[in-house]
C-alpha cells in the first residue's frame, strides 16, 4: 500500500517570491519592495544564513587613490581571467554606493580614532579597501541590520521555516512559484517571479565553514526544473578552519589573522609556507589551502600561531574567532590553534545573465546561488557579501520596474520533499571531501561519479534528496570536464 501524499495548502500570490534570507535575498527584497515581496527561508534565525557567518568584510574602492577600475583589475586577476569582465565592472562600480546604502540603513562599520572608515587590505587586493564591522563580525552586523530593515518594510514579509523543494511552472514553462515544506506539510506559493538566493553548496563537503543549510538545495531545485548551471567546479577551500574532531560546519579563523602576522606551523612549531610561496602565509588562498591539506593528508597536524602577532589583543581584535576558540577549549593568546582547510565558497551556481535571469523564464538567481561568472576561477576576498548586495539590489530594482506575471495555474508537482537520510548525506560529504576536495584527479572523480550514480538509482524518483545527488553528480562532472589547474580548481593529474 502506498503512503498517501500530504494535502497541498495553497498560499497567497506574491508578486516577487525570494527564496533565502541571507544578504542577497534581503537586498533583493528591500530593493523590490514597491512590489509585494515574500521571502521564504528554511532557517529559523538569521544566523542560519551563511552571510551571518562572514568574518571577512566588504570590498569597495572608497579609499584615497583607489577607484573601481583597480578593484575590478584585482578581481579579474584573482579569478585568473575566467571572470565575466562586464559583471566584474558592474560589481566594482556599484560597491561604494552599496556601502553608503548599508550605512544609511544603520550598519556601523569600524572607524579609526578620527572617525574615518577603517579600510583593511586583504590577500590579492592592491589597496586597502575592505570595510569591517565589529572586527571579524561583518556578516552578523550586516545581516542584523538588513533583517530589521525587512521587518520594518510593510511590503516585505519574511517567513521562516519554509524549505522550498520544487519549482512550480506553468503550461508555458515559466516559473510560477514554489512548493515548500513547512515542517508538517506541503505548501504551494504562487508568484510572478521567483528569486533563488539560497547560497552555495559548500556544506555538501565533510569540512565546511558554512552552516548546514548551504547544501545546494536551491541550486538542485533549479537543476531539477531544467535550469542550466555554470562553473560548478570552482569551489574555494579556506585554509584555516578550526580543526575540531567532528564533521560539518567548523569555525573560520579569518585570513585577517594571517594579515596581522599569524603564521602556520607544523607539530614542531616550524613554519612551512616560506618554502612554498614567496608570499608565505599571505599567498593566494588556494595555494595555502593545498599546502595545509598536503600536510594533513600525510598525517601531520597544522596550527595557526597568533601568539606573537596578536597575543593579548586577540579578544578585542578578533572577538568572533576568540569566542569560537574558547568554546572549543583553546586559548589563541597562549597556544597555536589546530587548523584544516574547509569548503568555503562556491563560485558557480545557477547560470544567469547580466539581469540575473536563469535559463528558465521567471526564475532568477543572486548571491552565491548564482553563476554570474563574476568571480571567475577564484573569488577575491571580501567580494562575496558585496556580490549579494550589489546584484541583489540591482535585481530588486529591476523587478520593481517590471509588471509581475499574473497568478496562473501551475502544473501539478512532479517532485516530493524527501531529503537524503543522514547516513547517506554523511557518506556523500566524505566522498566529496576525499575525491572532489582540495586536490582532485580523474581516478578519484570517476569513483565519486560511480558512487553517486549508484546512490541516485536507489532514490525515489522525484525526491528532493535525489535532486541533491543530481547536483553532486553535476559538480563531479564539471570537475572531470576541466582537466587543467586554474584558480581554486586543482587537478593532480593536469598535463
- What DSSP element (H or E) covers 193? strand 186-196
Q: Give the interface with ligand SIN as residue ranges (CB under 6 A).
A: 55-56, 254-256, 345, 381-382, 384
Residue entry with cell 551563511: 50
Kindly report the backbone phi and psi dihedral angles of residue 238, in degrees, each rounded to the nearest multiple of 5, phi listed first.
-80, 135
Closer residue to ligand SIN in complex, CB, 222/342:
342
Closer residue to ligand SIN in complex, CB, 215/255:
255
Task: Specify whether 285 is catalytic.
Answer: yes
3-state secondary structure of 195: strand
Q: In angstroms, what is the minimal distance from the CB of 490 to ligand SIN?
A: 18
Strands 58-59 and 235-242: unpaired
Q: In angstroms, what is the minimal distance from the CB of 122 to ligand SIN?
A: 7
Q: Taking the chain, what is the end-to-end CA distance rounded to the nearest angstrom?
A: 55
Q: In angstroms, what is the minimal distance from the CB of 36 to ligand SIN?
A: 34
| In 204-262, alpha helices (H) | 217-224, 255-259
CB under 8 Å to 380, separation ≥6 — which residues?
A: 59, 74, 75, 78, 79, 124, 125
Q: Residue with CB nearest ligand SIN?
A: 56
Q: In angstroms, what is the minimal distance from the CB of 175 to ligand SIN?
A: 30
> What are the C-alpha distances in Å from 231 to residues 4, 209, 278, 316, 368?
39, 20, 29, 39, 12
Closer residue to ligand SIN in complex, CB, 90/238:
238
Find the catalytic residue in 129, 285, 416, 440: 285
Distance between CA atoms of 127 and 124, rounded to whole angstroms?
9
Closer residue to ligand SIN in complex, CB, 56/332:
56
Closer residue to ligand SIN in complex, CB, 75/382:
382
Which of 438, 439, 424 has its CA nearest to residue 472?
424
Assigned C-alpha cell, 158: 519574511
Distance between CA atoms of 227 and 175, rounded to whole angstroms?
11
The Cα angle at residue 40 between residues 474 and 205, in degrees rounded to 5: 35
Q: In angstroms, what is the minimal distance from the CB of 56 to ligand SIN?
A: 2
Q: In angstroms, what is the minimal distance from the CB of 219 to ligand SIN?
A: 19
Closer residue to ligand SIN in complex, CB, 26/381:
381
For the annotated catalytic residues, the residue numbers are: 285
Amino acid at each position: 500500500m502506498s503512503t498517501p501524499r500530504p494535502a497541498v495548502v495553497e498560499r497567497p500570490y506574491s508578486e516577487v517570491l525570494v527564496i533565502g534570507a541571507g544578504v542577497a535575498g534581503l537586498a533583493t527584497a528591500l530593493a523590490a519592495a514597491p512590489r509585494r515581496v515574500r521571502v521564504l527561508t528554511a532557517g529559523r534565525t538569521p544566523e542560519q544564513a551563511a552571510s551571518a557567518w562572514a568574518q571577512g568584510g566588504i570590498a569597495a574602492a572608497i579609499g584615497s587613490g583607489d577607484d573601481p577600475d583597480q578593484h575590478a583589475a584585482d578581481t579579474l586577476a584573482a579569478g585568473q581571467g575566467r571572470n565575466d569582465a562586464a559583471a566584474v565592472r558592474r560589481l566594482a562600480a556599484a560597491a561604494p554606493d552599496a556601502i553608503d546604502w548599508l550605512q544609511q540603513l544603520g550598519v556601523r562599520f569600524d572607524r579609526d580614532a578620527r572617525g574615518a572608515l577603517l579600510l583593511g587590505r586583504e590577500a590579492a587586493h592592491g589597496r586597502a579597501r575592505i570595510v569591517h564591522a565589529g572586527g571579524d563580525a561583518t556578516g552578523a552586523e550586516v545581516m542584523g541590520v538588513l533583517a530589521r530593515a525587512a521587518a520594518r518594510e510593510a511590503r516585505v514579509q519574511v517567513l521562516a521555516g519554509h524549505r522550498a523543494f520544487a519549482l512550480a511552472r506553468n503550461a508555458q514553462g515559466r516559473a510560477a512559484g514554489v512548493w515548500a515544506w513547512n515542517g508538517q506539510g506541503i505548501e504551494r506559493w504562487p508568484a510572478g517571479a521567483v528569486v533563488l538566493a539560497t547560497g552555495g553548496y559548500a556544506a555538501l563537503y565533510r569540512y565546511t565553514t558554512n552552516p548546514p543549510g548551504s547544501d545546494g538545495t536551491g541550486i538542485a531545485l533549479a537543476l531539477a526544473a531544467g535550469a542550466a548551471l555554470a562553473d560548478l567546479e570552482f569551489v574555494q577551500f579556506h585554509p584555516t578552519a578550526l580543526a575540531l574532531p567532528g564533521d560539518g560546519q567548523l569555525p573560520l579563523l579569518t585570513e585577517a589573522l594571517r594579515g596581522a602576522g599569524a603564521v602556520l606551523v607544523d607539530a614542531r612549531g616550524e613554519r612551512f609556507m616560506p618554502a612554498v610561496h614567496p608570499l608565505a602565509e599571505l599567498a593566494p588562498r588556494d595555494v595555502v589551502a593545498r599546502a595545509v591539506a598536503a600536510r594533513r593528508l600525510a598525517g601531520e597536524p597544522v596550527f595557526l600561531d597568533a601568539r606573537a602577532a596578536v597575543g593579548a589583543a586577540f579578544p578585542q581584535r578578533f572577538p568572533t574567532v576568540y569566542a569560537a576558540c574558547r568554546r572549543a577549549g583553546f586559548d589563541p593568546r597562549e597556544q597555536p590553534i589546530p587548523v584544516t582547510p574547509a569548503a568555503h565558497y562556491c563560485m558557480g551556481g545557477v547560470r544567469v545573465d547580466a539581469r540575473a535571469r536563469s535559463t528558465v523564464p521567471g526564475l532568477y538567481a543572486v548571491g552565491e546561488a548564482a553563476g554570474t561568472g563574476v568571480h571567475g576561477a577564484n573569488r577575491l576576498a571580501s567580494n562575496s557579501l558585496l556580490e549579494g548586495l550589489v546584484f541583489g539590489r540591482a535585481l530588486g530594482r529591476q523587478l520593481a520596474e517590471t509588471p509581475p506575471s499574473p497568478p496562473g495555474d501551475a502544473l501539478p508537482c512532479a517532485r516530493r520533499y524527501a531529503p537524503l537520510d543522514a547516513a547517506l548525506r554523511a557518506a556523500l560529504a566524505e566522498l566529496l571531501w576525499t575525491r572532489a576536495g582540495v586536490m582532485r584527479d580523474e581516478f578519484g572523480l570517476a569513483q565519486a561519479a560511480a558512487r553517486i550514480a549508484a546512490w541516485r538509482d536507489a532514490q525515489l524518483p522525484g525526491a528532493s534528496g535525489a535532486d541533491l545527488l543530481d547536483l553532486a553528480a553535476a559538480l563531479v562532472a564539471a570537475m572531470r570536464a576541466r582537466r587543467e589547474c586554474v584558480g581554486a580548481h586543482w587537478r593532480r593529474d593536469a598535463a
